[in-house]
Amino acid sequence: MQGKLYLVPTPIGNLGDMTFRAIETLKASDLILAEDTRNSGILLKHFEISTPMRSYHAHNEHQVTEEIIQQIKSGKTISLITDAGSPGISDPGYLLVREAVENGIEILALPGATAFVPALTVSGLISNEFIFVGFLPVKKGRQTKLNELKSEKRTMIFYESPHKITRTLKDLAETFGAERKASLSREITKKFEETIRGTLVELHKISETRNLKGEMVLVVEGFNP
């Protein structure tokens, strides 16, 4: 009998966001694929989950995916988790899911913690239509991508690291226009959670004067002709 593949979200900061179903699923699995077994080991220990773990990340997913598919086909139930949030959202997961689909494997994705949804809903910007951009290219193709998004009418959601946020805000202000409205959320679900709202140029000035820490979610107003 063929096994199943579960995609299990993990908290993005606050362990209280772990769901009962997520804990039960991980406990009942034969194997947990973890982006970083050290980080995930802390999580599993906290919730008394003793299921074996194996590394599955961007640097080895092409090498081990076929082996994992064969394990599921042989009857094993395997769960995929990442360091934080939902697998496949700017994290490993797509390749494994694609191969599972092609092999007729049942895939179940649990709902749970993710960073961009709370950042969007507290932004005060239009949320009925939006586009998730994720991380912008660092070098090659960066300006081309920005130029493509300049006329995007839907609200845009970006992920960014603290040491790159100032540059990203500067690039967006120069390409989209300084007065484009935006909202920057950081440390979501954690003790120092904060959301800063304003124009792109205002947020850029704030990022230059403050040492903003934590993973960032930047929500930017769409183009309004």
User: Which of residues 85, 109, 133 is at a domain's end?
Assistant: 109
Confidence of residue 151 (pLDDT cuts 50, 70, 90): very high
How does pLDDT run across 19-41, given as a tens digit for each residue?
999 999 999 999 999 999 999 99
Q: Is the pLDDT of residue 120 over 90?
A: yes
Out of 89, 109, 129, a domain closes at: 109
Q: Are residues 60 and 93 in the same domain?
A: yes
Q: Residues 210, 218: contact at Cβ < 8 Å?
A: no
Do 162 and 137 lie in one domain? The reply is yes
- Rounded Cα distance between 147 and 7, Å, is 34
Which residue among 74, 93, 109 closes a domain? 109
Supply φ then ψ for residue 224, to 5 degrees. Answer: -125, 100
Please state which of the ranges 88-92, 93-97, 130-134 shows the lowest mean pLDDT. Answer: 88-92
φ, ψ (nearest 5 deg) of residue 130: -155, 165
Which pTM was predicted?
0.91
Range of the domain at 189: 116-220
Please check whether residues 80 and 99 belong to one and the same domain: yes
Note whether 139 and 202 are same-domain residues.
yes
The reported pLDDT for the residue numbered 225 is 85
Q: Is residue 46 situated within a structural domain?
A: yes
Q: What is the pLDDT of residue 213?
A: 94
Q: Is residue 225 part of a domain?
A: no
* pLDDT tens-digit readout, 32-67: 999 999 999 999 999 999 999 999 998 999 999 999
| pLDDT-above-90 percentage for the chain | 95
On whether residue 187 sits in a domain, the answer given is yes
Query: Does 176 fall in a domain?
Result: yes
> What is the CATH number for 177?
3.30.950.10
How many C-alpha atoms does 13 have within 13 Å on its Cβ side?
A: 13
Query: Does residue 121 sit in the same domain as residue 102?
Result: no
| Domain count across the chain | 2
Assess if residue 79 is contained within a domain.
yes
Domain assignment present for residue 35? The answer is yes
The answer to whether the CB of 10 falls within 8 A of the CB of 81 is yes
Q: Is the pLDDT of residue 199 over 90?
A: yes
Do 68 and 148 reside in the same domain of the chain? no
Clarify whether residues 129 and 205 are in a common domain: yes
Residues 104, 34 share a domain: yes
Q: Mean pLDDT throughout 78-106?
A: 95
Q: How confident is the model at residue 91 (pLDDT cuts 50, 70, 90)?
A: confident
- AA identity, residue 132: F
pLDDT of residue 177: 96
Task: With a cut of 90, say whether residue 1 has pLDDT above it.
Answer: no
Please give the Cα distance from 117 to 195 (Å, whole number): 13
